[in-house]
Amino acid sequence: MTRDLIFIGPLPPPVHGQAIATRTVQEQLLTAGLQIETLNLGVESRGSTAALMVRRGWAQLRAIMACLTGRQPSVYISVGANRGMYLTALMALAARATGKTVVLHHHTYAHIGQEVPRMKILLALAGKAAWHITICPAMSAQLKKVYPQVLKTLEFSNIGSVDTGLLTLAREDRTEVTLGFMSNLTAEKGVHHAIAAFREALAAGHAQRLVLAGPCNDEASRQAVEAALEEMGDRLVYLGPVYGHEKVSFFEMIDIFLFPSTYANETQGIVNLEALAAGLPIVAFGLCCIPSDLDVDSCIVVDPHEGPAGFADATRRMAGQLGQQSRHALAQASRAQFGRLQSRHAAERSALYDLLAGVRPEGRTSSAD
C-alpha cells in the first residue's frame, strides 16, 4: 500500500494537550482518506527510568530512520517543546536531505513569543521550504515577526478536539448566577484570579456560586483552593479532575465560564471552544488566539495588562448583565461564534489535506500575511 506521508508525534497515552491535538490531526487525516505511516513518540511513564529511556530512544530512532528511508513525499512532525525540539530538528534535516516536504506543527507559544536558540536551529535544518502550521492567524503573524526566515504558514485550530455534543446542552434562565473555571489549577492558569473575581461578584450580589474543576498541580494552588472552600462554604464547589460526562455536567452547572490564564505559552485554550459550544458567555484574558476566538458580544476579552483587577471587573460586569439578559440569547451568540470557527476550520483542513497529499498550496496566502 502506498502511503502519502510519514506522521510523527506523541499520541495518548500519556494524555496531555499536544498528544490530544496530534491524535485529532491524525484522525482527521485518516478520515479524509490519506494513507499514513504513524511514528508515535508518546511513551508511558511505567517501569524503571532506564526502561523508559530505552523505549523513548527507540521511538525516536525509528522516527529519524523513517525520515531517511521512507519513500513518502511528505513528513508531518508535531514539534517537540524544550529539548525535544532538537530531536524535531534532526527529523526535519533527515526528511529534507531525502527530498521530502517538511511540515512542522507548532502547538506551544514558548518558542514563538520570543526568539529562542533551539528554534533557530530547527529552522536552519528544516530549511526555508518547510511549512509551518500554527493554531491561528495571530500565531502565524508572531512566528513570522520573530523569525523572518519562515515563509510558509497554514493555520489549524484545535476546534476539532471539541465534543460537539456540547451544542445540544440546554441553557435556561435561572435566578442565580454560577461562575465556572476548568483547567489545571495553577497560579499560571489563574485559579487565584478566578477565586478573587468570584469574591467581588459575590460581594456585588451578581454571582452566587463558583465551580472549580481540574487537578491542583502545585501546593500553592491546593492551599488557595482549600482556603477558599473554608471561606466560602457551599458557595464554592471543587469537583477535582473531570472527564467525559463529568465535563459535560460541569458546563451544565455554570452560567459564565472564566479563563483567567496568564500562562506565557497559552495559545488557544480548548476549554474556551468547549464553553462556546456549550452556549456560555466567557470572560478571558486576551492571549494569542483568544481575542479572535472570542470576538463575539457574549464574551469579554480582558487586556492582560489590566491584570487581576481588570479581570475581576469584567467578571462582575458580565455577571451583572446576565441578570438582565436571556441566557438563551447569549447561548445563541456563543454557539454562532463556534459555528463560524468551525466553518473556518473546514477551510483549514482542506488546505492541510492538500499540502500533505502532495497538492502544493504555493499560491495560497496565509491569513497572517
Q: What CATH number should be reported for the domain holding residue 32?
A: 3.40.50.2000
Do 182 and 150 share a structural domain? no
**Residue 363 placed within a domain:** no
Beta carbons of 283 and 259 less than 8 angstroms apart: yes
pLDDT at 319: 95
Averaged pLDDT for residues 67-79: 95
Do 81 and 195 share a structural domain? no
Query: Could you read off the pLDDT of 316-334 as tens digits, one per residue?
Result: 999 998 866 778 889 999 9
User: How many structural domains comprise the chain?
Assistant: 2
Name the domain boundary from 135, 156, 177.
Answer: 156
Whole-angstrom distance, CA of residue 293 vs CA of residue 300? 11
Beta carbons of 99 and 87 less than 8 angstroms apart: no
Do 214 and 87 share a structural domain? no
Q: Where are the alpha helices (DSSP H) in 169-218?
A: 191-203
pLDDT at 323: 66
Do 181 and 115 share a structural domain? no
Name the domain boundary from 127, 156, 185.
Answer: 156
pLDDT at 2: 53
**Residue 65 placed within a domain:** yes
Query: Could you read off the pLDDT of 197-218 as tens digits, one per residue?
Result: 999 999 999 999 999 999 998 8
Do 169 and 116 share a structural domain? no
**Residue 347 placed within a domain:** no
Residue 360 has pLDDT above 80, yes or no: no
- Which structural domain, as residue segments, surrounds residue 88? 5-156
pLDDT at 77: 97
pLDDT at 369: 42
Whole-angstrom distance, CA of residue 157 vs CA of residue 347? 11
Indicate the average pLDDT of the chain.
91
Do 169 and 130 share a structural domain? no
Do 168 and 148 share a structural domain? no
Residue 366 has pLDDT above 50, yes or no: no
**Residue 211 placed within a domain:** yes
Averaged pLDDT for residues 24-34: 90
Question: Grid coordinates standing for 266?
Answer: 497559552
Averaged pLDDT for residues 148-165: 94
Whole-angstrom distance, CA of residue 272 vs CA of residue 67? 36
Query: Could you read off the pLDDT of 270-305 as tens digits, one per residue?
Result: 999 999 999 999 999 999 999 999 999 999 999 999
Averaged pLDDT for residues 231-250: 94
Using N-to-C axis directions, what is the helix angle for 84-97 and 117-126, rounded to 10°?
10
**Residue 345 placed within a domain:** no
Residue 148 has pLDDT above 60, yes or no: yes
Q: What are phi and psi of 15, to 5 degrees?
A: -90, 120
pLDDT at 259: 98
pLDDT at 50: 86
Averaged pLDDT for residues 53-72: 93
Do 207 and 311 share a structural domain? yes
**Residue 11 placed within a domain:** yes
* Residue among 210, 217, 207 nearest 193 (CA): 210
Query: Could you read off the pLDDT of 117-130 as tens digits, one per residue?
Result: 999 999 999 999 99
**Residue 151 placed within a domain:** yes
Do 235 and 133 share a structural domain? no
Beta carbons of 212 and 194 less than 8 angstroms apart: yes
Whole-angstrom distance, CA of residue 15 vs CA of residue 90? 25
Residue 165 has pLDDT above 50, yes or no: yes
pLDDT at 367: 45
The separation between CA 357 and the C-alpha centre of its own chain, rounded to angstroms, equals 25
Do 169 and 112 share a structural domain? no
Do 245 and 126 share a structural domain? no
What SS3 class is residue 136? Answer: coil
Name the domain boundary from 156, 183, 207.
Answer: 156
* Residue among 201, 210, 251 nearest 232 (CA): 210
Strand arrangement, sheet containing 236-238: 236-238, 209-213, 178-182, 256-259, 282-285, 299-302
**Residue 351 placed within a domain:** no
Asked whether the whole model's pTM tops 0.85, one would answer yes
Averaged pLDDT for residues 138-157: 96
Do 136 and 180 share a structural domain? no
